[in-house]
Amino acid sequence: MKNPFSEFYHVPNSKELLDIAFKKSMKSSAQVSKNAPILIKAKKKESKRIQVAIEELIDRILKIIKMVPIIDDLPDFYRELASILVDIDELKLTLGKLNGILPVLSKIEREHLSRLNRIEAPKEGDQLRRSAFGRVSSIINKQNKNLEYLNQIRGNLKEIPAIDYTLPCIVVAGYPNVGKSSIVKNISTNKKIEIKEYPFTTKKLNMGHLEIERRFHKTKIQCLDTPGILDRPMAKRNKIELQAILALRLISDLILFVFDPTPASGYDVDSQIELFNEIKENFSKERKIEIIIIFNKIDLAKESEIAYLKEKLNLIDGQFYLTNALSGENLDKLISDLKERYAEKK
Ligand SMILES: Nc1nc2c(ncn2[C@@H]2O[C@H](COP(=O)(O)OP(=O)(O)OP(=O)(O)O)[C@@H](O)[C@H]2O)c(=O)[nH]1
Ligand SMILES: [Mg+2]
């Protein structure tokens, strides 16, 4: 499904909202006969202006509230990811506060319209409209913090990748800076992934695809690049790491675990092994998900570094890939392995 937050569009701030509403209001024209007395004309004109402004505001605020999906109703993955990225209680509270001003706006409208009916001089109509606009402005301005908050969290939520639950999903995981993104960028269609020489470059989940040919049709497999994870207790893991954990837990059909056997990533191999064991134990065994092991950066790796990892993981040749994500060496083998695995499977 597409990202449920893809229709969470820009949220105007209070000034923008008021500008739109008042502009529309001042352009409005009331239906009144030319020959009507000035007092009637003033009443009709100002009533219309007040109505247009307040109804426009109510309409726009309702639209803002409605474009935020109800988090509790989302599928597990999106719901949990949203709770990692934003404080859901604060979001609910913010939407509740915005919703709370709607009856207040309606009341101001009703009160001013009934007072307008009773005016005795045209200039009182102008004064009443100004008074209504003043009260409305003060209410909307008090919501500015909430409007800006929505716009700010929108930035995080709209970056959530679209997951197609009908297609297999390979999750690429490992320590920071080991070359996960370089591999996904190389093997998938996603060429926009950012790669940098420092850890925690990837701060969100990036989706890429691999096209595969089945006997009668073409299809795709999903390949998800994740942020690095450190070997530490779950409770200590930050929001960036937790996104990777969530993907492993909820949407992986196959895990690609990437090791950097060299000191280049800045993290030692034993910690990477600990993380591997944790992932194997928690996310592979229970859900019967296979792990493909990759030793990356073979252009830098010494034989002794590869031998150490092999021995520690109890692997024999053929049970892991040796890759260079910069040159693409051996990634073609990995791609054909992946394509073969999914060529006939559903
Ligand atoms: N020499 C060499 N450098 C590599 C290789 N693969 C990746 N790198 C470099 O390692 C650094 C980290 O690469 P990324 O692909 O960003 O690593 P990552 O695992 O996605 O890192 P995070 O997103 O921070 O967790 C970059 O400077 C890459 O150019 C490789 O096979 N050989
Ligand atoms: Mg990365």
Tens-digit pLDDT profile for residues 44-75:
999 999 999 999 999 999 999 999 999 999 99
Q: Architecture of 14-157 per CATH?
A: Up-down Bundle (1.20)
Beta strands in 31-94 (DSSP E): none
| CA dist., res. 184 & res. 250, Å (int) | 19
**Structural domain spans, the chain:** 14-157, 169-343
pTM metric for this prediction: 0.91
- Residue 172 alpha carbon to ligand 1 centre in Å: 13
- Say if CB 234 and CB 199 are below 8 A apart: no
Is the CB of 186 inside a 6 Å radius of any atom of ligand 1?
no
Least confident of 33-42, 151-160, 234-243, 274-283: 33-42
- Residue 53 alpha carbon to ligand 2 centre in Å: 48
The yes-or-no verdict on residue 201 having pLDDT over 90 is yes
Is the CB of 308 inside a 6 Å radius of any atom of ligand 1?
no
Secondary structure in 3-state letters for 191-206: CCCCCCCCCCCCCCCE
Please, is 264 exposed, middle or buried when counting C-beta atoms within 10 Å of its C-beta (0-12, 13-18, 19+)?
Answer: middle
Task: Return the CATH superfamily for domain 169-343.
Answer: P-loop containing nucleotide triphosphate hydrolases (3.40.50.300)
- Say if CB 116 and CB 109 are below 8 A apart: no
pLDDT mean over 70-95: 96
Is the CB of 196 inside a 6 Å radius of any atom of ligand 1?
yes
- Residue 198 alpha carbon to ligand 1 centre in Å: 8
Residue 345's pLDDT band (boundaries 50, 70, 90)?
low
Closest Cα partner for 65 from 110, 99, 20?
99
Among the residues of 86-214, which ranges form H helices?
88-117, 122-142, 144-157, 180-187
Which atom of ligand 1 sits closest to the CA of residue 182? 15
Is the CB of 197 inside a 6 Å radius of any atom of ligand 1?
yes
CA 146, 67, 92, 79 torsion: positive or negative? negative
Is the CB of 261 inside a 6 Å radius of any atom of ligand 1?
no
Task: Report CA 110 to chain centroid distance, whole Å.
Answer: 40
Is the CB of 179 inside a 6 Å radius of any atom of ligand 1?
yes
| CA dist., res. 10 & res. 64, Å (int) | 9
| CA dist., res. 128 & res. 134, Å (int) | 10
